[in-house]
Amino acid sequence: MAGFLWLRQICLVARVLAPVEAALGEVFRINACYRENLFGGKFGLHNVIFPINGAFLEVISLHPGVDPKNTPAGRYLERRKGDGGYMVILECNDVDRREKHMNTLGVRIVLHPKHDVFNEIQLHPSDTGGALIAINETAGRQGFEGPYSPAGPEWWLKATPSDLTSAILAAELQSPDPEALAAKWGAVLEREVTSGIGGVPTILLEIGSLRFVPARDGRGEGLGGVDLAITNRERVLKAAVACGLHTENDVVHICGTRFYLVQA
């Protein structure tokens, strides 16, 4: 039987890191806890990670001078016509069992970082559709607190609570056929697809949820949106306008991603 699944981390990809980092920090009043040269520079990527009450929002970007055609992230930027959502990262307590499940489904594992108490599988997006899915486990995990390797050693000592943004609530995947994509993710994650608000196909997790909507922005299938719990939407929208960002109703557009503001 499948164990728990938490929406632990959202990863965006940007052509240039600094302006996206600045916009996220200014609009949502979040502060970075970690930066690194990913995989020792193997893929020409660097990143920044923002903690949000135990979950994480990450932005990765190519180092200057790296040819986009030589990296998966760069090719993704080209395919989706610019910055946008890149990866949905879930935490569980049974990675080894889930790896066997992927083998049964014929879903390829493109990366398998494993060290100390951390174990993760990253799934081939051609086999899952929608976005990269990563599923990780930290041995001995009891709750959101404590070690989480992608956020660096002792991330919690560097985390500054935000007075505006309190949680990552959901990821929104878009597709020309959202029902089919939801069914595929449901099979991969061993979760039932339910009917959410407005009949939107939704997968509920123990923490967070995934919803699947039609692709209407001309960018095709991918991670299009993120729900954030916000204590003061008007303040967020005012900051976004001051930064020259596009807003509509309770949505702020940053890094090619729709951030839905949900009143906390």
pLDDT in tens, 173-227: 999 999 999 999 999 999 999 999 999 999 999 999 999 999 999 999 999 999 9
Residue type, 54: G
Mean pLDDT of 124-134: 95
Same fold, 6-157 and 165-263: yes
Mean pLDDT of 151-179: 92
**Locus of tokens 């929406």:** 7
Mean pLDDT of 15-42: 88
Q: Strand ranges (DSSP E) for the chain?
A: 6-14, 34-37, 45-52, 55-62, 84-91, 109-111, 114-115, 118-123, 132-138, 165-175, 194-195, 201-204, 209-214, 222-230, 247-248, 251-254, 257-263
Domain positions in the chain are 6-157, 165-263
Ordered alpha helix ranges (H), 106-158 = 125-128
Residue 199 φ then ψ, to 5°:
80, 15
Tokens at residue 157, please? Answer: 């000592």
pTM: 0.95
Which of helix, strand or coil describes residue 19? helix
The pLDDT tens digits of the residues spanning 243-256 come to 999 999 999 999 99
Does residue 40 surpass a pLDDT of 70? no
Split at pLDDT 50, 70, 90, the class of 77 is: confident
Fold of 165-263: 2,3-Dihydroxybiphenyl 1,2-Dioxygenase; domain 1 (3.10.180)
Give pLDDT, residue 1.
58
Give pLDDT, residue 65.
76
CATH superfamily of this structure's domain 6-157: 2,3-Dihydroxybiphenyl 1,2-Dioxygenase, domain 1 (3.10.180.10)
